[in-house]
Structure 1
């Protein structure tokens, strides 16, 4: 009988640990708007990941406080664009639109300063748009095991606690019976 009581206690402990390990974890999605700086110079591309049809801003300090530049986004199919002087920290800023026909991948964006001809590059990642985005599975899997309480972590924890109490009570009753105290 003691062996049965120990086995039930071990089972109750395993149920509690498994329930806590199965609680869902939530994470913030990665931010795809960070600037990219290339090794050849400093060309910032924002957002660094864009969708077909999206607007992209490019800026650089390489051309000086009042410098301008000619940009080239032909790699992604957008063609030439102009970077003009800006009041924001002496940047030269320009914009272009990613063509709706752009394919997913990484593309090099180039800017060449009007004075001095210095060339800088940056990378643009084109991703699938929300309309073309693959659907990610959500929800629980219908396996026939568990799921009575749903995916809510509070309800899951309450269910695990109820199972642990039931297992502990069963262990206590078996222990009393083994000692001869009766129910």
Structure 2
């Protein structure tokens, strides 16, 4: 990756996070070289993730040939999307992809509405593959609550009076048992 593209990527990511808050992490566009941008979403993925790529560089109704062979996903097609002048394509990162930063490329082929604006224009963006997900879990982890019904019961309960009474009963029993054992050891009859 060239130093200018890296600086643009870092600046764009920092600006997106600052403006949109924590939900923008991993969703910032990756900027290509001159003449337009190639947005990669999500920009940071784990192997097996589906990635969406879009660009406005090809003009209204334009199409493009995408190349994700750097990450092992091969070629894909960008076709006109639901928004005006946006070409959209998708590919899946292979399950065996190694961690690293990969350049994803799209070349406009000029098959728009008679518009040759973007013909031959190439845009690129970066895709970062990691082994751990950067997205927060869909559901926060659940912590166990309550008690387990084992049939044995428990010495400690939610009521402090009952807890104190149980501790006192155990202390009296321990003292009485010790006194009896002491008397027996001396040979005293009960």
Q: TM-score scaled by structure 1?
A: 0.53
Alignment partners' CA distance in 2, 1:79 and 1:53: 14
Alignment partners' CA distance in 2, 1:129 and 1:96: 20
Give the alignment partner of residue 68 of structure 1, picking from 63, 67, 75. 63
State the 1:35 CA deviation.
1.6
Gaps of 5+ in 2: 1-21, 111-118, 134-190
Alignment partners' CA distance in 2, 1:92 and 1:107: 21
Specify whether residues 29 and 121 from structure 1 end up closer, same or farther in structure 2 by C-alpha distance, changes over 3 A only: closer
Could you tell me which residue of structure 1 aligns to residue 156 of structure 2?
Answer: none
Gaps of 5+ in 1: 1-27, 131-183
Q: TM-score scaled by structure 2?
A: 0.51
Counterpart secondary structure, 2:125 = strand
Give the alignment partner of residue 124 of structure 1, picking from 119, 122, 127. 127
Could you tell me which residue of structure 2 aligns to residue 56 of structure 1?
Answer: 51
Counterpart secondary structure, 1:107 = strand
Contact 1:52–1:129 (CA<8 Å) still a contact in 2?
no
Specify whether residues 30 and 94 from structure 1 end up closer, same or farther in structure 2 by C-alpha distance, changes over 3 A only: closer
Could you tell me which residue of structure 2 aligns to residue 33 of structure 1?
Answer: 27
State the 1:30 CA deviation.
7.5
Contact 2:61–2:84 (CA<8 Å) still a contact in 1?
no
Could you tell me which residue of structure 1 aligns to residue 143 of structure 2?
Answer: none
In the comparison of the two structures, how many residue pairs are matched? 103
Structure 1 segments (4+ residues) deviating >6 Å: none
